[in-house]
Structure formats: structure tokens, C-alpha cells
Amino acid sequence: MQAFLNQLPVGLSIAAVLLLIALGLTFTFGQMGVINMAHGEFIMAGAYTAYLLQAVVGTAAVPVALPVAFIVAGAMGWLLERLAIRRFYGRPLDTLLLTWGVSLVLQQLARDLFGAPNVQVVAPTWLSGGLPLFGTQIPYARLFILALAVGCVLAIWAYLARSSQGRRMQAVMQNRQLAAIGGINTGRVDQLTFFIGSGLAGIAGVALTLIGPVGPTLGTYYIVDAFLVVVCGGLGRLGGAVLAAFGLGLLNSYAEFWTNASLAKVIVFAVIIAFLQIRPQGLFVLRSRALT
């Protein structure tokens, strides 16, 4: 029981990071059918943003970097959508190959700019130490990551439910053709969706600096798991992404603790395959309006 409690904050923080990454993929993949393998490099961009700001603001780099990384990664995603991806809508396999090539280019660019070795971002002093709870200590840094994920989920929910632009996004996800006929500028919605999704990846990159070092391949360690969260949660479903992220994050954490990293991945993939055999559409299904 003590080992279970000690591993719980690790699993929750991994789940929170997966959720931050998957939130963006949920809407870009669910709305536009784009398999964006460069999403991991937007995570890397957010992490390096915190590293660069460290030279300016010192240990306050992490909180300062959150809005800056959102804008930087969001701008990168917006440029990618405008310059390349918009020409490949409706061709998911082509978008996979395209964005995989872009990810390799961005990784090499990061090596040229920052070097191949990993770098470290120093956490603020108020995130040192931990909260004693049930005989274990939960690090403040991991609690901060969890709170950050909860805050982003609430912000996305409010955006979708309370704003006119969010309702337009939902309309495009449900039926793109009907939304266009109704007067919605689907191209502009796609741009904004890609900006927000990529910006959330940048925030996830800042959160990852509290867990470990930053390197050019940082995003590749999480991108596959994030896609699994999207598939298991259901395309375009916010609630499904939340449940799937915490389920997979905790499963991966405890499986790795009791076995090893390689066997833990095998266990996670086996559980996902079994789950998709039962519910191939994921936890939640997006109801759509068909043109008849």
C-alpha cells in the first residue's frame, strides 16, 4: 500500500502531461482528420522557451514561460497549417508523412540551435519540497502540473461551451459541410483550432521541464501515448480525453514501477488493444448530423 501511494503522484503527473498534449490532438485530429506527428516538436518548443527565458528571469522561468510557450508553439502550429497542412485535408496518410518530415527538420534545427545534449530548467523555489499526505510526500512540482492540467481543461470547456467561436468549432467537428453551408468560415476555424491545439502542446512542454531535462527528442517520448489517449477517449471528446489520459498515465506508471519500462509499454498496448476490441469508437462517441 505504501508503494502504491508513493507511485500515485508520479502517475498523476504523467497523466496530466498526457492530457495537456492530447487536448490539442483531440481537436486537430477529431476536427480536421490531421495526424500531426510534429505535435511532439511543439512540446519541445515550449520546453526550450522556458530554457531561454531562464537566462532572463531566472528561477521564475516556468510560470513566465507558460503564456509565452503557448504563443510560440501556437504560432508554429498556425504556420504549419497555413503553409502545408491545408493542402492535404482529407488525406490523413499524407498528413502523417508530411508532419513526420517536419518533425525531423525541427529536431535537427533544435540540435543546431541548442546542441544535442539535454539541458535543465531550474524550478522556482516555491515548487521545491512536497505535501505530506497519507504517509507519503507529493512533490509540489507534480501538484503544479496537475493543477495546470485541470486549469487547461476548464478553460477549454468554457471556450467550447460559452464562446461563439467554441460553438463554431463544435459545429465543424460535427459536420464540416453543414457548418460551411450555415455560413461558418471553416478555414478560419481550422486555423484557430490548430493554434490552440499547438499552444497547449507548448504548455505541456513547460510542464515537462519540471519532471526532467529538455532535449531535441523530448516530444517523441510522449506523442504516441497522446495519440492513444485521443483514440481511446473518442475523437473530439473532452471528457473522453480526460478519462483516457488519467487511465493510461496511471496504468503506465504502475506497470513500469512493478516491471520495467519496456514491459510496461507492452502491458499498456495490450490493454488498449483489448479495450478497442470492446469499444472501437472509444469511451465517448461524437454525435454528428448527417446530410440526408
- This prediction has a pTM of 0.87
Side-chain-facing half-sphere of 49: CA atoms under 13 Å: 29
**Which helix (H) or strand (E) segment is 133 a member of?**
strand 130-133
Contacting residues for 102 by C-beta, under 8 A, at least 6 apart: 37, 38, 41, 80, 84
Per-residue pLDDT of the chain in tens (292 residues, 90 and over written 9): 666 677 777 888 888 888 888 888 887 776 677 888 899 999 999 999 999 999 898 888 899 999 999 999 999 999 998 888 888 877 878 888 899 999 999 999 999 999 989 999 988 888 888 887 766 778 888 889 999 999 999 999 898 888 888 888 888 877 778 888 888 888 888 889 889 999 999 999 999 999 889 999 998 888 888 888 888 887 667 788 888 888 888 888 888 878 777 788 888 888 888 888 888 777 776 555 444 4
d(CA 141, CA 207): 9
Set out the domains of the chain in order of their start, with CATH numbers: 2-116+138-278 (1.10.3470)
pLDDT digits (tens, 9 = 90+) for 99-113: 999 999 999 999 999
The per-residue pLDDT for range 121-144, each reduced to its tens digit, is 988 888 888 887 766 778 888 889
